[in-house]
Structure 1
């Protein structure tokens, strides 16, 4: 089906209105532009671009803001562009000088990362979304605010709505960046200071972090710390007084500019601030952090702003040394404010959660408001944390002050009384109804030994092999992307635990096979309900990190029954690929040598 850009534009406009985003949070304005130097590529009008206009707090801070609006231009007509010639880049930079603060380019094709980074300099971002296939469209179960396309069949209308939804989802993430860009000049002076419950949380969070830093320092863990979503460096500078080096990241250039200004004033040269979008990009030189960090911080609700919680936690895990800690905060799904709605408008909170829409309404000033993505802390996130880390504490705060009007807390006696009550509730395990959730957890202090064991066995058997280095892999799909070989030559090792005996089973099969647990239970002569795949902590106990399980080299003290699929033996393949105890490395080994190393494994057809 041929896609018509005007249909995408009009559908997004309609969905913005249907979802209550316009004109409450921003206005849509007409825009036109023609650049003769770009061969007509930058010929813009209402059918191929959208201008979003966000109000700035210029009335409240006239000496800080020169303009009453922050303008974002979303261009749809370049969705198949890959070259981005110098003339086109020049045209985009000219656009930025016409009262446009940020440009978003929708793309349906992959653009070279060097070009993507080059365009970021003049604040031009590329949002990539694929056009759904017919099969994907037909499998779609629900669409929010379906907008029919006149004179089009249902299939085409569905496709346009799916694309529009994907773009709006990405734009909602952008709204958070715009909030940060606008708020940066007044962030430390105003945001969170006027709303007392928010201010009290920020101070309470700092107290909790300071205690953790002190504990880590006493244990000699004061090397490298990372602050993700650092803002203007509120916590980064505190960390800088205790750690040798602090790397602090934020997706807002304005926030980083402000942080660097403060850095110069403080002479805090061991705190390094960098612009980076953690959710959509690797950190600059991220490889250098693997296994090198003592502390990772993602504070002031940062945990709720990342959609893929599992990926976030695993990246943090990879960065940490054994025994290193994470300090994170989220907006809390069990907050009492989500069950009780006060009648007063004078909230003591700077932001209000909208659970139904997974969003957060942030009021910078009465006219400068934002609706941004927010994923609440719940049992799902708690489970993800427990699968990887050892959780030291989960504290929620504040509960009472989150319900009260701001003017009540302006009375110092009342504020101090409610603060004391909230702190008592926060330290009570049964009370988990505060507005924010603070999580402190650590990586197992025991280093995994599987990688060393694998290398020892390779040397012992004089195996012919090669090590393929790559970005960390967390799934078999990741492995297939980095290993250029047939799936039947790529092996995966599945670890199973018997709940009654605490014994483990290792089964080595080809990567494209799915394991039948009923067959395994019959093979072991046990009840199917008594066996399960090993948890991530159990995998670490056996000697391997997440995404790095090898078919040999297990911790010798743990009882493991080992099986090899006969299909591996029978398949004609000179080389085999497998994990080797490090999720950044894949072992390529001659098949004959591999079979010697695992000669004692029981051979079974799976």
Structure 2
């Protein structure tokens, strides 16, 4: 592989530590991702054939350091390329669902349909949300764990000498994170657009010795909480991308936060490696993204979302008077592997650690930003 090494390839650091392995893996994925470009394929079949042959040769060389037979490696990746090609040749299909946008819809109509779908979806899944969401989507489970860890680190660091105060969980669903915040804050509020989710959150909370408050509220209309009342505001699991009026909401967050108060926001990442890949399998995520319109498909329901780049998010946040302190993106590798490849606690933990090391590369599904007022 030494004759194939590119100038920007990660350099050895004395031993094969996890950070180095993670960097090498991302470098290889980027390199192989750029080998076959769908637009180039459509324009020039000869270029495509040359690129595929070149890619397969590189796959064979990747096997050598690990004593894997080159022909075996070549056959695996050849099958992947062929299946990806076959999927791209299938006639276009619309995801089934109760209501889907079409080319004739106005922006207002699209927003109305997607909002109706969101409410219909929450009615459908509220009672089973805690038990089922992410159950068969390993990458989604990993996102939940990663964000919970980051929020825990943020609160431990920022409120170590001054525990208590008030916290708001925006888009709280059934209150999983809201209940966790009760360990650190004496006054916790969970906000969600869905009456069914809020009702389920209240039911689950009544079984425990904690008393957060839950409120039905449309975040596109801003926050109803008093000015300078919250020490912490969180919005996890990409919820910030579900908000149509994100600039208005960020201004509202600034109003509600106390001076020195902290925030944690999670967005869909437009630069995620997943969106550059041509995968022949379904990613291990609960939702899939539609390229035609800004929406996610969750259990056949299309709901509004928008992917953002880091610079866009930073511009919005600073315009609202907030200051970002830390950026992360997660997961990168887990999002492009088939769910079966993440089976088993040992492998899952290894991929989780690798994605933690890659979180500063900003190529994961979600962009997480924390900061202060």
State TM-score, norm by structure 2: 0.71
Q: Secondary structure at the match of 2:131?
A: coil
Q: Which runs of 5+ in 1 are unaligned?
A: 1-18, 28-51, 53-142, 147-160, 364-368, 444-606
The total of aligned residue pairs comes to 280
**8 A Cα contact 1:361 1:370, kept in partner:** yes
Distance 2:97 2:279 in 1: 23
The equivalent of 1:176 in structure 2 is: 118
The equivalent of 2:213 in structure 1 is: 272
RMSD: 2.1
**8 A Cα contact 2:178 2:190, kept in partner:** yes
Q: 1:240 Cα deviation (Å)?
A: 1.1
The equivalent of 2:294 in structure 1 is: 358
Q: 1:193 Cα deviation (Å)?
A: 2.1
Q: Residue deviations 1:343-381, cap 9 Å, x none? A: 113x21111222441111223xxxxx1111111121222
Q: Does 1:380 align with 2:312?
A: yes
Alignment of 1:60-459 (within 5 A): 145-146=103-104, 162=106, 165-220=107-162, 222-269=164-211, 271-280=212-221, 282-283=223-224, 286=225, 289-345=226-282, 347-363=283-299, 369-378=300-309, 379-387=311-319, 388-426=321-359, 429=360, 431-443=361-373
Distance 1:282 1:245 in 2: 16
Q: 1:245 Cα deviation (Å)?
A: 0.4
Q: 1:221 Cα deviation (Å)?
A: 5.3
Q: 1:20 Cα deviation (Å)?
A: 6.9
Distance 1:273 1:319 in 2: 17
Distance 1:413 1:221 in 2: 36
Q: 73, 79, 98: which is aligned to 1:26?
A: 98
Q: Secondary structure at the match of 2:228?
A: coil
Distance 1:262 1:144 in 2: 39
Distance 2:367 2:325 in 1: 13
Q: Residue deviations 1:256-314, cap 9 Å, x none? A: 11111111100212x0012112213653xx3xx20121001111111001112211111
**8 A Cα contact 1:359 1:371, kept in partner:** yes
Structure of greater relative contact order (alpha carbons < 8 Å, 6+ residues apart): 2
Q: Residue deviations 1:63-93, cap 9 Å, x none? A: xxxxxxxxxxxxxxxxxxxxxxxxxxxxxxx
Q: Residue deviations 1:506-555, cap 9 Å, x none? A: xxxxxxxxxxxxxxxxxxxxxxxxxxxxxxxxxxxxxxxxxxxxxxxxxx
Q: 1:174 Cα deviation (Å)?
A: 2.1
Q: Rg bigger for which structure?
A: 1
Distance 2:204 2:127 in 1: 12
More helix by share: 2
Distance 1:144 1:372 in 2: 14
Structure 1 stretches (4+) deviating beyond 4 angstroms? Answer: none
Change (3 A) 1:350 1:246: same
**8 A Cα contact 2:234 2:263, kept in partner:** yes
Distance 2:308 2:227 in 1: 26
Change (3 A) 1:341 1:219: farther
Q: Residue deviations 1:408-467, cap 9 Å, x none? A: 1113332122111111111xx3x1100111110101xxxxxxxxxxxxxxxxxxxxxxxx
More strand by share: 1
